[in-house]
């Protein structure tokens, strides 16, 4: 078959072209942050403890997750996170706890305590964060809450849409942070490393978005 090498080369070229067009999934972005540069952070194989750099600023973390079952009918999950961000204002340390509980009866499992996350900062920040699952949007249970430091408040809400798709995802693919009703920062958790879009971290709004995003990105889902 004289044309076999040419056919093989053509197939290889087509496969290579197809692979080149494969893109990582991305969270759908609000128009107000679509033009903001992304900052990937973290590292593969995060583990229980470690450290990484976020735009030249060190982040150290330690976390855990456990699950307690009672008579195979009630299961309570709990995860903890402690991280320190050496930001422009100095070291800010967050202590966070996430909880969730499920009950099983006749083979059916239901959530009896929806997921919640609570954080409190010390050191260079005295902020608090509270977010929980429960609001239903587009038929999907979403997570909503707030981050507060002094008079500054950021609204927090989960995102369940991927870029270029109208299909609602069952789990959060990221989070938006809002100030006075406008999205000012976002955290993309759709694939690979987290990607942060934020205001200047040297500003109060940028600091707030960074502290909230690190908590949401680093905390494990309750086991």
Residue given tokens 């993309």 in the structure block: 188
Q: For residue 14, what pLDDT is reported?
A: 38
Q: For residue 33, what pLDDT is reported?
A: 97
Find the range with the poorest average confidence among 138-142, 143-147, 200-204, 209-213: 138-142
Residue 92 confidence (pLDDT) above 90: yes
**Does residue 66 or residue 10 have the better pLDDT?**
66
Which band of pLDDT confidence, cut at 50, 70 and 90, is reported for residue 138? Answer: low
Domain-embedded: residue 4: no
Give me the DSSP letters along 72-132.
TTEEEEEEEEEEEEEETTEEEEEEEEEEEEEEEETTEEEEEEEEEEEEEEEES---EEEEE
Domain-embedded: residue 71: yes
Residue given tokens 């008579």 in the structure block: 71
Domain-embedded: residue 18: no
Angle 89-30-86 from CA coordinates, rounded to 5°: 15
Burial of 120 from C-beta contacts in 10 A (0-12 / 13-18 / 19+): middle
Domain-embedded: residue 9: no
Residue 97 confidence (pLDDT) above 90: yes
Q: For residue 108, what pLDDT is reported?
A: 61
Domain-embedded: residue 97: yes
Closest CA to 160 of 132, 177, 140: 140
Closest CA to 222 of 71, 136, 114: 114
Domain-embedded: residue 20: no
Say if residues 63 and 80 touch (Cβ distance below 8 Å). yes
Kindly list the distances between the CA atom of residue 2 and the CA atoms of 7, 8, 113, in Å, as whole numbers in the listed order. Answer: 10, 11, 68
Which band of pLDDT confidence, cut at 50, 70 and 90, is reported for residue 91? Answer: very high
Domain-embedded: residue 48: yes
Domain-embedded: residue 52: yes
Closest CA to 218 of 17, 57, 42: 42
Sign of CA dihedral 119, 49, 115, 207: positive
Mean pLDDT rounded to a whole number for the chain = 85
Q: What average pLDDT does the segment 91-119 reach?
A: 81
Find the range with the poorest average confidence among 14-23, 36-45, 68-77, 145-154: 14-23
H or E stretch at 46: none
Domains held by the chain: number: 1
Q: For residue 72, what pLDDT is reported?
A: 66
Q: For residue 110, what pLDDT is reported?
A: 55
Domain with 135, as residue range(s), is 26-218
Q: For residue 211, what pLDDT is reported?
A: 98
């Amino acid at each position: 078959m004289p044309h076999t090498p040419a056919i093989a080369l053509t197939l290889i070229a087509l496969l290579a072209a197809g692979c080149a067009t494969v893109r990582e999934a991305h969270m759908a972005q609000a128009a107000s942050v679509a033009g903001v540069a992304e900052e990937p952070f973290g590292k593969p194989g995060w583990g229980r403890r470690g450290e990484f750099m976020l735009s030249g600023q060190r982040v150290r973390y330690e976390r855990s997750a456990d699950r307690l079952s009672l008579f195979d009918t009630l299961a309570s999950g709990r995860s903890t996170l402690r991280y320190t961000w050496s930001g422009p204002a100095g070291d800010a340390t967050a202590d966070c706890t996430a909880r969730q509980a499920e009950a099983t009866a006749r083979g059916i499992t239901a959530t009896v305590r929806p997921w919640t996350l609570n954080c409190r900062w010390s050191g260079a920040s005295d902020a608090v964060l509270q977010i929980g699952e429960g609001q239903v949007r587009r038929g999907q249970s979403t997570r909503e809450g707030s981050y507060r430091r002094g008079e500054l408040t950021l609204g927090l809400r989960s995102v369940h849409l991927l870029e270029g798709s109208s299909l609602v995802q069952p789990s959060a693919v990221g989070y938006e942070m809002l100030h006075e009703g406008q999205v000012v920062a976002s955290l993309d958790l759709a694939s690979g490393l987290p990607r942060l879009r934020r205001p200047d971290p040297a500003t109060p709004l940028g600091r707030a978005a960074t502290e909230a995003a690190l908590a949401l990105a680093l905390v494990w889902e309750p086991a």
